[in-house]
Amino acid sequence: MALTLHNVSHFYLERQVLDHISLHIGTGRFCCITGPSGCGKSTLLRLVAGLEKSTGGAILLDGAPVSARSGQIGMVFQEGALFPWLTARKNVSFGLEMQGFKPKVLADLTEEYLSLVGLKQFAEYYPNQLSGGMRQRLAMARSLAYNPSLVLMDEPFASLDAQSRNLMQAELTRIWRETKKTVVFVTHSIDEAVFLADQIVVLSSRPGQVKADIPIELPRPRLRTSPAFVRYREQILALIENSEGTNEW
């Protein structure tokens, strides 16, 4: 599904966080949102998820308000938000059970998505028995299992070490290409954004505005040391460093 934002603004306690955000993310696209700390990236994602209501403007998923599409939106948080008392299999199947899937369908979908993220052999492990990267893969499986059209990801790899983060970026690219979901991914890392995205939206400092909306025209898989990759990274870094406004409340 395509995601469209029209003049979205948002206030917290009379302080403006987002200022007339307008953008379009096409069906099946991978969009990264980046910008200075405190510019409203995570707030924007929460508005799209329907976890908060915007102060002004419209957020549409294939032309309908996101509030009417809540069952078609999945979200992966920075810490995964897994249930620690449930096994990997039960974490994935939990949402499916809540939606009333028949046992055979539920079991098949759970196995399919555990396999998709490479965790089938760890199905009976609990979250505290898995590595950070494995927990994030499990969170992705749980979000994807009920087949949302739009997947929102709020800095899901921020807590991982550099090597694990690179591996998870490659894994996410594979999963995205297999599932063909529309993805909106918030990140502070410019390198991560260029590696993952078809489209990078750069927000200004608070109140966040769209400073740039950049299509990333690089073949996949991407080489981080290629001249074209480096040029995109430098372009986006310059935009963030020269961002106008203030992060002060």
| Of 244 and 1, more confident | 1
Domains, the chain, ordered by start: 1-69+182-249 (3.40.50.300)
pLDDT at 80: 62
Instruction: Give 93-107 pLDDT, tens digit per residue.
Output: 988 887 777 888 889
Nearest partner of 72 among 60, 83, 80, judged by Cα:
60
Reported confidence tier of residue 246, pLDDT bands at 50, 70, 90: very low
Of 139 and 66, the one with more pLDDT: 139
Share of the chain above pLDDT 70, in %: 96
Could you list the beta-strand ranges (E) of the chain.
Answer: 3-12, 15-25, 30-34, 56-61, 64-65, 73-76, 150-154, 182-186, 199-203, 210-215
Q: Is pTM beyond 0.85 here?
A: yes
Cis before 65? omega within 30: no
**How confident is the model over 204-217, as a mean pLDDT?**
95
